[in-house]
Amino acid sequence: MSELLVTLVQAKLHWEDKNANLAMLEQEIQNIGQPTQLVVLPEMFSTGFSMQPEKLAEPMEGPTVQWMQSMAMKYKIILTGSLIIEEAGQYLNRLIWMLPNGTHGHYDKRHRFAFAGEDQHYSNGNKRLIASVNGWKINLQICYDLRFPVWARQQVTDQPEYDVLIYVANWPERRSHAWKSLLIARAIENQCYVIGVNRVGEDGKGISHSGDSMVVDPLGGVLFSKAQDACNHTLALNKAQLEEVRSKFPFWKDADPFQLLQNNPDA
């Protein structure tokens, strides 16, 4: 399949109010109003970027993962976004990749945002998740991971490792220039599509978020960008265009080989 239909949901989240957020996001999904294959929600979409996992964390069998399963099955979509999970005595900022048949994969945020104390409340992951859908390979990451290019770098052998790089985020407005610049940089250096889905509005700590959700093409061109307002937006990513860029400008073949050491100091 040459196209991948993706919907970005840029939402104004209710602070630490799961019921309100899930009701609002279900309405957003209902309002998409056109065919789509993949719906992307922000980071910690059910709570906002809270440092109170003791109060808000759920197990994988909890109501928010069940809600994702219900939405994916009902609307026949892949649904992804991160939430607060408790597992084996640890709290995790976990991205769920929920398939229409109710099965799922997950990615635990590697780089915790120590500036806001995330490292004091959450354990980090040490394994990337690259999902596959209709011939597309999608690398899934979370917010602060964006600042660390090695974690996203294509592992090139005979072909690039993935086609789309997704970041779900609660990225503050005061650093929106870095957000937009780094999304474009990740697309150019990895010769892939990049999708960044951020929230809008003020959170419970008085921090403002301007959204600036974006879709960037493999040459760094911005295909979509939206600031300030809550919205959902659907667009088609074109596989033929991606392959044409990689064929015409085969910079990926000259990349330096490297190895990621999957150590976890918190384990």
43 is known as an active-site residue: yes
Give the whole-angstrom CA distance, residue 61 versus residue 170.
24
Q: Which of 12, 18, 28, 43 is catalytic?
A: 43
Side-chain-side CA neighbours of 19 within 13 Å: the count stands at 0
137 is known as an active-site residue: no
Q: Which of 109, 118, 180, 226 is catalytic?
A: 109
| Contact by Cβ (8 Å): 164, 193 | yes
Q: Which of 12, 143, 192, 226 is catalytic?
A: 143
Nearest to 154 by CA among 164, 143, 162: 162
Interhelix angle for 63-75 vs 18-30, to 10°? 10
- How many Å is the Cα radius of gyration of the chain? 17
Q: How many residues does the chain have?
A: 267
Beta strands of the chain (E only): which ranges? 3-10, 38-40, 78-87, 90-98, 104-108, 129-133, 136-142, 164-168, 193-197, 200-202, 208-216, 222-227, 231-238
Catalytic site positions: 43, 109, 143
